Structure 1
């Protein structure tokens, strides 16, 4: 028996059609609704300032015009996403075309649209020139540039906390929420964190971007990391010399790192974490002489 036949039964007038609008459930009596009715039900006014998209089963978004109708009698709950905007932006993700209602999109949003695990997959922006750019979970990509941005996902064993876990969950969550690209390493029993592509204070050093290595002591986070390490090695622009107590090598993971001998005796177990170490490193780089 068809759905249309079912509607003719005695309970047809009582039937409700559930939808999810921005992850909030709403019910409709009518099986066919317009985009404007969907926005009105979600109390999004004025409706002409909003865009509405139907989320398809494959994760793609199909824009619904205000006067366009949607049949709610299909199997499952129809899911809609809305944006307050007057235009949509196109991009491709893993070869599929998407419409997006905002001029920016984050790495985490791209991973969710692709239906991949955010912790084990990375997402890249394809570049016409140079290497493809890895997008952090909280990094925003501007979709207003000329042309259609092309993104792709894949297993990522070197960033976003993938690989062997050496950090406490709070540290990992902090780094991910800050959009910091990082790598957890365990080399010969030595646990360490590598912060990838970190910018240095402008004009102070002969390199503007470095990787930062933090070696974690066995009792971390109950005790503090001590020194930190950079690659490539940097010199002060003014003197052309290595900063004080930053002229010794440290070998780790097949690379020679510049050791910055900076010690810490004020560590509060249960309070301090990787965020504390980052502030220490930023301060040491700011005052290096």
Structure 2
């Protein structure tokens, strides 16, 4: 015969195994007043009184004793009722010095409790609510309240408190379509598909977070919805025309391998072509931060023939930009004819410690200069 069996440990480690005969059984009791201990009984079939007195709950008949049987619902055991520890496998006992029990409902099942409050942790235990599910207090006159692990539910006795557990969910607004997701991380192209957009048709996706600049994201990027401030995913068509036949983007000269990889990674729509003896990198439908008179613009970048030894300088926009407030933008009065259109020249130059370095600078770093310049003008 086994010398001693700890009922709680046995049930946790061997949930479906028969509890063996033993000389002693260790039981755990919680009373809500800071007492949470284990004691040993030598009787495999004690009465409620024996259990209470083993834990020095005197006088026993002034206490209510509840227990949580293995794989079962919280139950009360009367003072003179016998409980077979081997059969019921009580995971924990709860003792209350009270003359009445209060009730609450969780997921449609009624439970009795001997104190005026019950913590979320104990609610999870007695109602068998998994940790990954969120617990809500149902309310008639307001939205249900999501409870944190530090919360307690007050049982007044005047009304039956009702709780419900739900799978956690996260919201994402995709171009006005509100998605409810069961995982906090979603791939951009999957979010588009769920919202009813075909990701293969060339959407430009812009992630908006409160208090931060808009961020263009690639289709294979992931969005972590646990990060604070995520507001929406906005879509812009990659190409807007007047019905002309679709043409493949021009690739009249090659960029550095790392530049092309970066442009593809950003899902930017770009072309390279030669016009008037100058080599141009054209970013089509580049999404602008809020604050300009246009939401998208074409950006042309002059790429010298000896790049990257020769630096990339300035950038050019079409259509021309002013602030939405009507204000002008400094150092943009220059005009450049490119492929039959007149672009607005933005005179922005590297200097000082940020002077062009052929070993480290590239189209990729120049795009950072462009984005910083565009954000600066609208105060972002």
TM-score, normalised via structure 2 length: 0.36
Pick the structure with greater CA Rg: 2
User: More relative contact order in 1 or in 2 (CA 8 Å, sep 6+)?
Assistant: 1
